[in-house]
Structure 1
Amino acid sequence: MGKLSVAVLGLCAAWSAWAQEGPADFASQVPLSISGNGPWYRLELPLDVQLNARQADLSDVRVFNAAGEPQAYALSRQSSQRTESRNVTDVKWFPLYAADTRQALPGVVMKTTREGTLVEIKPGTAAKAGTQVLRGWVLDASAIKAPLQQLSLDWSRERDGFQRFSIEASDDLQHWQSWGDGQVARLSFADERVEQHDVNLPGQSARYLRLVWQGQAAPLLTSAKLVSATSSSLPMPLVWSQPLAGTRLKAGEYSWQLPTGLSIERLRIELNQPNTLAPVTLAGRRDSKQAWQPLSNGLLYRLTQDGRDVVQDELQLPGQTVSELKLAVDERGGGLGVDAPALRFAVRATQLVFLARGEPPFTLALGNASAKAANLALSTLIPDYSTERLTTLGQARIAGEVAVTAPAVSIAADAGTNWKKLGLWAVLLLGVAALGAMAYSLLRKPPAAG
């Protein structure tokens, strides 16, 4: 009976050790290298590594040291939705002229008041009357103090079609920084009008914007609005996936299965055929048991204009978690073809910060559907945390390939079932039964002869 007691105690100890998380409890492990000043290190999680997680919010991410001990860590996965306020402001606009649409934009003389309001723009070089062409516009955003998120334009009804222009920003009207290209459109389609007025901006502050039309005269503006937003901190950049193949459900309807549940903020549909025009509606859901929920709609196109392709292939999403996507196409525009187009998705970059304890090498582990969230707030992990302090932390990097293995503990399909807890209860009940058997055996043993 003594051997049985020892066996029961050993089994209880084994189950208790199993209840402590270790690298083997996670399906994927990847080695890390560290450099710079510790003891805190920050790691930019690549998207292909994140896709090995079993939980959309990365609750199953852990960092272990060489002894297999878990490290305290925090996740910074801030979304652009965490804005404190969002404002739409009507702004003034001022014309820019040149001799023709091929001439480089001439120098301009610009005047401002003491309050910073733009008063006047004059051509810096003289030109004959009646020979100048409207090349673009300068927008006065000096009254807006928050970062600029979006530009919305409207223009005279005489100018249908696409309007493509470069965007530059300045604080002093002398030195200009490129903010990329913008494109708006007003089209007639199947007895309907399809209009696109909004252009995304990089979320930076500027007092003035300069819009210069490319290879064509600028239209007369009737409205110019800027959307600005203040937030507690700037959002992390977007990271894009590799192309994802889809399935054609029926004519004009396609679906894609994502690797896992993801908070997607932008989609890019590959438009391989020239002269494609497709009004679309996008829906999503977390699993096949749920009904489809509308996510976005818009106009996708790839059209040839002035000898080059003009492409709009992206859709903006609200950032909610989905694992399946469905695209419905209005085929009056010609559709997207028989085969489902490839799709790329973008999510916010994720940064992991951990406090190094014990000896390296350190290992990043993920892939456990039943693991509970263990991350701390950054202000808890780093007592004197600040945004500036974050940039001075040591660097951690992925140092090898992701090793995918079967976890030592089988992961239940139903994440709500805690098999470790059930196992421990079973061991305890087994121990109680063993002790009861020992007591019963002692009671039935005849007393020793005197």
Structure 2
Amino acid sequence: MGKVSLSGLAVWILCSAVHAQETPADFATHVPLAISGNGPWYRLELPLAVQLNARQADLSDVRVFNAAGEPQAYALSRQASQRTESRNVTDVKWFPLYAADTHEALPGVVMKATTDGTLLEIRPSSVNGQQVLRGWVLDASAIKVPLQQLTLDWSHERDGFQRFSIEASNDLQHWEAWGDGQVARLSFADERVEQHDVSLPGQSARYLRLVWQGQAAPLLTSAKLASATSSSLPLPLVWSQPLAGARLKAGEYSWRLPAALSIERLRIELKQPNTLAPVTLSGRRDDKQAWQPLSNGLLYRLTQDGRDVVQDQLQLPGQTVTELKLQVDERGGGLGIEAPALRFAVRATQLVFLARGEPPFSLALGNASARAANLPLSTLIPDYKAERLTTLGLAKVDGEVAFTSPAVVAAVDAATNWKKLGLWAVLLLGVAALGAMAYSLLRKPPVAR
């Protein structure tokens, strides 16, 4: 009987240490959630302010609790920004658009197309005097999936900036505005800078119309459209509030991020008109690490035809960093004595949880020692398919989210570590007591019969 009791004591002690369940008190930040729609699964898009309270870049310390403080099963959807195999680039045909001058509205056109919608010809419905090339119509009728990017090349006689409006249509009669596009070919300090790509909104269209405003269009030499299926589209980017930086020396600035983040795009504030700045951006995770190059490019804010032409963004590879450094070639005039404000963008993250127990539910995060507890979506939702995400119930952050200071987080992490140390201490003391009792039994002389 004595041996059975000792064995049971050891198992009880071990289970108490290993299976100690996390509680909301183990996390520095708690955010109430409001749910709507059909459960039991709910989908939450994590605001950037929430993500900044995480202590781990991969969000391993995110949890969802019910009213009783019980953790909920959950999954994270964090689609990468890199291109997938389903992305295709297609060379498309282009057709000229003419008008009487650079300010006249485009006249009606006569088109010839095949039965499948492929364009054969576009010409003005009437010709009155000399015509000016105002733009181009691109034939995307052979592309059946959403359009992601436009890539243009044009004759070398028209170096400089090319700014145009982008419209989409399925019948060449009704057009939907898709915003503005801008490409450039510049020479600066014995270097050549070229920008040929324009982002599109990820929608389908049979035709695109590009119209130059206030100037004649250049002669195109190449037009390509990148497309991707909807299942391969990455989640949208979410932008931060302006972040102040510091000037290290002439032409060199740095910014410290509020947390370790996988940044995919930056926007540098260019306050002064006629700013031209070739830049190199570097990053690192901590002060002990060497700076690693992340991106380079040409930032500018120039006045053309009475309006600003701005390129203030840099594309990044999504590497996790906590500090950024920008080096500026000051032959272009620099960016000033004070460090410019910076905005950064990260990929949006969706959290899906299976509601169990009673609401209200809350989101908790901010624990540097927590281990990842998320499941794959295919495990959380039986027979999961990507299109099913849109049919789930919705969860939203209920109220404002304040960034938790590192000191508060450190205190919570320290408390969590002390709790774990206490559990292990109980385990070790129990094992020691078990060993002492076993040793005592072994030394006891056998009972005479």
Q: TM above 0.5, one fold?
A: yes
Aligned to 1:119: 120
The offset of 1:436, in angstroms, is 5.3
Asked if 1 retains the 8 angstrom alpha-carbon contact of 2:34 and 2:360, the reply is yes
CA–CA distance in 2 between the matches of 1:188 and 1:198? 18
2:413 is aligned with 1:411: yes
Residue 428 of structure 2 aligns to a residue in which SS?
helix
The offset of 1:50, in angstroms, is 0.9
TM-score where L is the length of structure 1: 0.88
The offset of 1:302, in angstroms, is 0.5
After TM superposition, the structure 1 stretch with the greater mean CA deviation from structure 2, 132-141 or 383-392, is 383-392
CA–CA distance in 1 between the matches of 2:114 and 2:218? 27
CA–CA distance in 2 between the matches of 1:95 and 1:75? 47
Q: Unpaired segments of 5 or more residues in structure 1?
A: 446-450
Q: Unpaired segments of 5 or more residues in structure 2?
A: 1-5, 445-449
Aligned to 1:343: 342
The offset of 1:187, in angstroms, is 2.3
Letter of the 2:27 partner, please give it: F
Aligned to 2:387: 388
Aligned to 2:207: 208
Letter of the 1:49 partner, please give it: V
Residue 85 of structure 1 aligns to a residue in which SS?
coil
After TM superposition, the structure 1 stretch with the greater mean CA deviation from structure 2, 420-429 or 159-168, is 420-429
Residue 287 of structure 1 aligns to a residue in which SS?
coil
The offset of 1:115, in angstroms, is 4.1
Asked if 2 retains the 8 angstrom alpha-carbon contact of 1:15 and 1:423, the reply is no
Residue 136 of structure 2 aligns to a residue in which SS?
strand
CA offset digits 1:73-132 (Å, max 9, x no partner): 1112213325123333322211001111111122222221234321100113x23232x1
The offset of 1:357, in angstroms, is 0.5
Asked if 1 retains the 8 angstrom alpha-carbon contact of 2:27 and 2:412, the reply is no
Aligned to 1:87: 88
CA offset digits 1:48-72 (Å, max 9, x no partner): 1110001111111000011110001
- Describe how 1:104-183 pairs up with structure 2 within 5 A: 104-124=105-125, 126-130=126-130, 132-183=131-182
Letter of the 1:155 partner, please give it: W
CA offset digits 1:360-399 (Å, max 9, x no partner): 1111000111111111122221213333332222221212
CA–CA distance in 2 between the matches of 1:140 and 1:374? 48
Aligned to 1:400: 399
After TM superposition, the structure 1 stretch with the greater mean CA deviation from structure 2, 91-100 or 79-88, is 79-88
CA–CA distance in 2 between the matches of 1:37 and 1:101? 54
Asked if 2 retains the 8 angstrom alpha-carbon contact of 1:82 and 1:231, the reply is no
Aligned to 2:282: 283
The offset of 1:340, in angstroms, is 1.1
TM-score where L is the length of structure 2: 0.88
- Describe how 1:362-441 pairs up with structure 2 within 5 A: 362-402=361-401, 404=404, 406=408, 410-411=412-413, 423-435=422-434
Aligned to 1:100: 101
CA–CA distance in 2 between the matches of 1:292 and 1:144? 43
CA–CA distance in 2 between the matches of 1:193 and 1:384? 53
Q: Specify whether residues 283 and 409 from structure 1 end up closer, same or farther in structure 2 by C-alpha distance, changes over 3 A only.
A: closer
CA offset digits 1:21-74 (Å, max 9, x no partner): 010111111111212221111112111111000111111100001111000111
Asked if 1 retains the 8 angstrom alpha-carbon contact of 2:146 and 2:230, the reply is no
Asked if 2 retains the 8 angstrom alpha-carbon contact of 1:369 and 1:412, the reply is no
CA–CA distance in 2 between the matches of 1:378 and 1:437? 49
Residue 223 of structure 1 aligns to a residue in which SS?
strand
Asked if 1 retains the 8 angstrom alpha-carbon contact of 2:273 and 2:301, the reply is yes
2:77 is aligned with 1:76: yes
Aligned to 2:27: 26
Aligned to 1:194: 193
CA–CA distance in 2 between the matches of 1:18 and 1:148? 50
Q: How many residues align?
A: 434
Asked if 1 retains the 8 angstrom alpha-carbon contact of 2:247 and 2:339, the reply is yes
CA–CA distance in 2 between the matches of 1:243 and 1:407? 23
2:261 is aligned with 1:262: yes
After TM superposition, the structure 1 stretch with the greater mean CA deviation from structure 2, 260-269 or 317-326, is 317-326
CA offset digits 1:200-241 (Å, max 9, x no partner): 222233222110001111111122222233463432111110
Aligned to 1:66: 67
Q: Specify whether residues 232 and 176 from structure 1 end up closer, same or farther in structure 2 by C-alpha distance, changes over 3 A only.
A: same
Letter of the 1:118 partner, please give it: L
After TM superposition, the structure 1 stretch with the greater mean CA deviation from structure 2, 281-290 or 96-105, is 281-290
Residue 300 of structure 2 aligns to a residue in which SS?
strand
After TM superposition, the structure 1 stretch with the greater mean CA deviation from structure 2, 248-257 or 141-150, is 141-150
Which has the larger share of helix? Answer: 2
The offset of 1:18, in angstroms, is 8.7
Residue 387 of structure 2 aligns to a residue in which SS?
helix
Q: Specify whether residues 254 and 396 from structure 1 end up closer, same or farther in structure 2 by C-alpha distance, changes over 3 A only.
A: same
CA offset digits 1:231-278 (Å, max 9, x no partner): 634321111100011122222121211111212121111001111001
The RMSD of aligned alpha carbons is: 3.0
Q: Specify whether residues 400 and 173 from structure 1 end up closer, same or farther in structure 2 by C-alpha distance, changes over 3 A only.
A: same
Asked if 2 retains the 8 angstrom alpha-carbon contact of 1:152 and 1:199, the reply is yes
After TM superposition, the structure 1 stretch with the greater mean CA deviation from structure 2, 364-373 or 313-322, is 313-322
